[in-house]
A and B are shown apart, each in its own frame.
Chain A
Amino acid sequence: MRRELIEFRNVSFRYDEQSPWVLKDLSFTIYEGEFVAIIGHNGSGKSTIAKLVNGLLFPQEGEILINGIIVNEETIWDIRREVGMVFQNPDNQFVGATVQDDVAFGMENRGIPREEMVKRIEETLQAVQMSDYRLTEPHRLSGGQKQRVAIASVLAISPKVLILDEATAMLDPKGRKEIMGTVSELSEQRGLSLITITHDLAEVVQAERVIVMNQGEIWEEATPREIFSKRNELRDIGLDVPFVAILAEGLKQVDLKLTKEPLNQEELLEELWILHSKT
Chain B
Amino acid sequence: MNNSLIIGQYVPGNSLIHRLDPRTKITIIFFFVFIVFFANNVLSYGILVAFALTAMLTSKVPVRFIMKGLTPVWFLIIFTFILHLFVTKEGTVVFELGIFKFYSGGIIQGFAISIRFFLLILVTSLLTLTTTPIEITDGIEDMLHPLKRFKFPVHELALMMSISLRFIPTLMQETDKISKAQASRGVDFRTGPLKERVKAVVPLLVPLFISAFKRAEELAMAMEARGYQGGDNRTKLRELKVTKLDIMGYLIFILVVAILFLTRTYG
Contacts and interface: CB of A to CB of B under 8 A. Distances in A.
B221 A56 contact: yes
A114 B219 CA distance: 24
Contacts of B223: 95, 105
Interface majority SS (helix, strand, loop, mixed), chain A = helix
A100 B219 contact: no
B225 A108 contact: no
Contacts, number: 94
Interface string B176-199: 000000000000000000000000
Given A56-B224, A96-B166, A139-B173, A111 B235 contact: yes
| Best-buried of A114, A118, A139 by chain B (most CB within 10 Å) | A139
A176 interface: no
Given A85-B225, A108-B235, A157-B227, A92 B169 contact: no
B238 A87 contact: no
B90 interface: no
A97 B162 CA distance: 7
A153 to B, nearest CB: 7
B173 A93 contact: no
Nearest to A54: B225
Contacts of A7: none
Contacts of A157: 226-227
Interface string A109-120: 111111001100
B238 A101 contact: yes
Contacts of B215: 89, 91-92
A111 B233 contact: yes
Interface residues of A, number: 39
Interface string B236-250: 111100000000000
A54 B226 CA distance: 10
Given A56-B224, A92-B222, A93-B222, A111 B234 contact: yes
B248 to A, nearest CB: 26
- For the complex, would chain B's binding face be called helix, strand, loop or mixed by DSSP majority? helix
B218 A89 contact: yes
Contacts of B239: 114
B2 interface: yes
Contacts of A54: 225
B228 interface: yes
A138 interface: yes
Given A92-B219, A93-B218, A93-B219, A80 B225 contact: yes
Contacts of B228: 105, 109
Given A89-B218, A111-B233, A117-B237, A137 B225 contact: no
Given A101-B238, A111-B233, A153 B226 contact: yes
Q: Which of B2, B163, B169, B237 gathers the greatest number of chain A CB atoms within 10 Å?
A: B237
A107 interface: yes
A106 B227 contact: yes
B229 interface: yes
A2 interface: no
Interface in A97-151: 97, 100-101, 104-114, 117-118, 121, 137-140
Given A105-B226, A138-B166, A95 B236 contact: no
Given A92-B219, A107-B235, 11 more contacts: A56-B221, A80-B225, A80-B226, A87-B218, A89-B215, A94-B166, A105-B223, A109-B227, A109-B229, A111-B233, A153-B226
17 contacts: A87-B222, A87-B225, A89-B215, A89-B218, A91-B170, A92-B214, A97-B166, A105-B228, A109-B227, A109-B228, A109-B229, A121-B237, A137-B166, A139-B2, A139-B5, A140-B3, A153-B226
Interface of B: 2-3, 5, 134, 162-163, 165-166, 169-170, 173, 214-215, 218-219, 221-229, 233-239
